[in-house]
Amino acid sequence: MSRLSVRKTYKLYIGGAFPRSESGRSYPVTSPKGEFLANASRASRKDARDAVVAARKAFPGWSGATPYNRGQILYRVAEMLEGRRAQFAEELAQSGQGGKKAALEAVDATVDRLVWYAGWSDKIASVHGAANPVAGPYFNLSSPEPTGVVAIVAPADPLLGLVSVVAPVIVTGNTCVVVASEPSPLAAITLAEVLATSDLPGGVVNVLTGRQAELAPWLAAHMDVNGLDLTGVADADLALQCEQAAAENLKRVLRPVQEDWTADPGIGRMTRFLETKTVWHPVGI
């Protein structure tokens, strides 16, 4: 008699913990062929609210950490992911993201992407800041600072796409609430397990699974969210509705884009959620 396997319960990841949706709801996740894979939590607006609270709470500590420290932690995430390479590849393959080989390539690309962004933590200020030569006796320095709490609607690509939108947001000191790919949310929760064991403070990344159309508008309208990444919103009406809602507190919005996740990412995803602070001081004796 073959052994009955122990299935994983896929929960949410909020404030460093793995709660079920407060609503008690879940939804079945299937492979493209229709095979049942797991029940994922179907987060509610209240879960989204809790996630924003957790992200806000984590913001001072994370944004106040040294860039070196943030880089170390992102690199640690890469290390942890590398260690679970086979698990992620299998999960990706099961959920129909290409064959085994393609899945492994995707995991490797994800690890490499994390390493790439990890290195940016203490370089972005040099590239995106400036010593400004003003016409007067003043020291004048512009440096980038994180925007705050960023809500992200992750793209369909369940792992590489997800990490490609989350890493640039957090490496600079933002905290985030990410709505995982609706049809393929499982990798996101497994990634959360990696994050939870990588010295990343709880609340820096919060992962919600569920209905994009249900969650995104609440996050877009939330007055304690500073930035909104709509990359994964395929429905133009939903994107419009979210961007309009985001106008209420002038969120920084990244509109939906079709992106080749294997291409050179550039620094745009980091700078989009950075503020520039310019400090003046007189120079005199």
Partner 1 sequence: MEDTALVGDAVMVSTMTTSLADVAASGATLRAFLHGLPGVDRVGADQRAATLGTRSIKTTAKAKAIDLAISMVDLTTLEGADTAGKVRAMCTKAVRPGGDAPKVAAVCVYPDLVAVAAEAVRGSGVKVASVATAFPSGRSSLEVKVSDTALAVAAGADEIDMVIDRGAFLSGDYLKVFEEIVAVKAACGDAHLKVILETGELATYDNVRRASWLAMLAGADFIKTSTGKVSPAATLPVTLIMLEAVRDFRDATGRQVGVKPAGGIRTTKDAIKHLVLVNETAGDDWLTPEWFRLGASSLLNDLLMQRQKLATGRYAGPDYFTLD
Partner 2 sequence: MMAIFEYAPAPESRDVVDIKPSYGLFINGEFTDGSGPSFKTVNPATEEPLAEIASATSDDVDRAVQAARKAFGVWSALPGAERAKYLFRIARIIQERARELAVLESLDNGKPIRESRDVDLPLVAAHFFYYAGWADKLEYAGFGRRTTNGQGGTKPLGVAGQVIPWNFPLLMLAWKIAPALACGNTVVLKPAETTPLTALLFAEICRQADLPPGVVNIVTGAGDTGAAVVAHPDVNKVAFTGSTEVGRIIARTVAGTDKKLTLELGGKAANIVFEDAAIDQAVEGIVNGIFFNQGHVCCAGSRLLVQESIQDELLAALKRRMGTLRVGDPLDKNTDVGAINSAAQLAKIRELSEIGESEGAERWSPACELPDKGFWFPPTVFTGVAQSHTIARDEIFGPVLSVLTFRTPAEAVEKANNTPYGLSAGIWTEKGSRILWMADKLRAGVVWANTFNKFDPASPFGGYKESGYGREGGLLGLEAYLDV
Question: How far lies 133's CA from each of 112, 130, 283, in Å?
Answer: 37, 9, 13
Report the residue number, 141 or 234, with the smaller CB distance to partner 1: 141
Dist CA 90 CA 139 (whole Å) = 55
- Rounded least distance, CB 109 to partner 2, Å: 15
Q: Min. distance of Cβ 137 from partner 1 in angstroms?
A: 5
- In terms of DSSP H, where are the helices of the chain? 45-64, 67-83, 85-94, 100-120, 124-128, 160-171, 186-196, 212-221, 236-246, 268-271
Residue 19 CA to residue 56 CA, distance in Å, equals 18
280 binds, among partner 2, partner 1, none (CB under 5 to 8 A by kind): partner 2
The site for partner 2 (CB under 8 A) is made up of 127-128, 130, 132-136, 138, 140, 142, 147-148, 226, 236, 239-240, 243-244, 246-250, 252-253, 255, 257, 259-260, 263-268, 271, 275-282
Least distance to partner 2 from the beta carbon of 253, Å? Answer: 8
Encoding tokens for residue 77? Answer: 């995430």
**Closer CB to partner 2, 4 or 236, in the complex:** 236
Give the list of residues 6+ apart from residue 86 with CB closer than 8 angstroms, or none.
Answer: none
Of 68 and 139, CB closest to partner 1: 139
Decide which of partner 1, partner 2, none touches 283; Cβ closer than 5 to 8 Å per partner kind. partner 1
Measured from the CB of residue 27, what is the shortest distance to partner 2 in angstroms? 28
Residue 34 DSSP code: -
* Binding-site partner at residue 279 among partner 1, partner 2, none, CB < 5 to 8 Å by type: partner 2
- Among partner 2, partner 1, none, partner that 226 touches (CB below 5 to 8 angstroms by kind): partner 2
Q: Please state the closest distance from residue 283 (CB atom) to partner 1, in A.
A: 7
Angstrom CA distances, 243 to 50, 165, 199, 221, stand at 22, 18, 33, 9
Burial class from Cβ neighbours inside 10 Å (0-12, 13-18, 19+) for residue 214 reads middle
**Closest CB 110 distance from partner 2, rounded Å:** 17
Which among partner 1, partner 2, none contacts residue 263 (Cβ within 5 to 8 A by kind)?
A: partner 2
Cα separation, 141 vs 133, whole angstroms: 9
Cβ distance to partner 1 smaller for residue 24 or 136 = 136
Q: Which is nearer to partner 2, 1 or 285 (CB)?
A: 285
Between 34 and 133, CB nearer to partner 1? 133
CB under 8 Å to 100, separation ≥6 — which residues? 89, 90, 93
CB of 141 to partner 2, least distance (A): 9
Query: What is the token pair recorded at 157?
Result: 């690509």
Residues engaged in binding partner 1 (CB under 8 A): 137-138, 282-285
Residue 8 contacts which entry, partner 1, partner 2, none (Cβ below 5-8 A, type-dependent): none
Residue number with CB closer to partner 2 (189 or 274): 274
Three-state secondary structure call for residue 228 = strand
